[in-house]
């Protein structure tokens, strides 16, 4: 997963890219746990889903922009395809749940 900022996220949406954003916060324990899981399976996700970008967005860097996506709790994962949200999961996800999320894109 790579860090993404508002401008990059807007560009990805405008370019109709397929990607996943994990909205998180530094103070969030479950977010840190999920980051560890992503770090363990990152290579597998890249290999299995080479056309799906993986990003994280720290909500504390732009709270208002995060709110524009309806983020009410973290971690929240949102999958985007063709410029639109196609899937969303809120809360801590394990390895298999993350893989299922990617496979649905």
Q: And the tokens for 70?
A: 């309806």
Domain span at 65? 2-103
- A 10 A CB-CB count for 17 gives 15
Q: What is the pLDDT of residues 16-26, one digit of tens each?
A: 999 999 999 99
Q: Which residues are catalytic?
A: 28, 31
Q: Can you give the pLDDT at residue 98? A: 97
Q: Can you give the pLDDT at residue 59? A: 97
Q: What is the pLDDT of residues 84-102, one digit of tens each?
A: 999 999 999 999 999 999 9
DSSP result, 38-62? HHHHHHHHHHH-TT-EEEEEEGGG-
- Please name the residues in contact with 56: beta carbons below 8 A apart, sequence gap of 6 or more: 1, 2, 3, 4, 21, 22, 23, 24, 35
Q: How many domains does the chain have?
A: 1
- The model carries a pTM of 0.95
Contact 89, 77 (CB under 8 A): yes
Q: What is the pLDDT of residues 48-93, one digit of tens each?
A: 999 999 999 999 999 999 999 999 999 999 999 999 999 999 999 9
CATH number at residue 33: 3.40.30.10
């Amino acid at each position: 997963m790579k860090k993404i900022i508002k401008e990059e996220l807007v560009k990805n949406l405008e370019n109709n890219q397929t990607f996943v954003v994990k909205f998180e916060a530094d103070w969030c324990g479950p977010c840190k746990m999920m980051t560890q899981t992503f770090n363990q399976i990152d290579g597998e996700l890249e290999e299995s889903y080479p056309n799906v970008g993986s990003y994280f967005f720290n909500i504390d860097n732009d709270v208002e922009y995060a709110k524009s996506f309806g983020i009410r709790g973290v971690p929240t994962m949102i999958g985007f395809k063709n410029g639109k949200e196609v899937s969303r999961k809120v809360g801590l996800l394990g390895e298999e749940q993350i893989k299922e999320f990617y496979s649905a894109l």
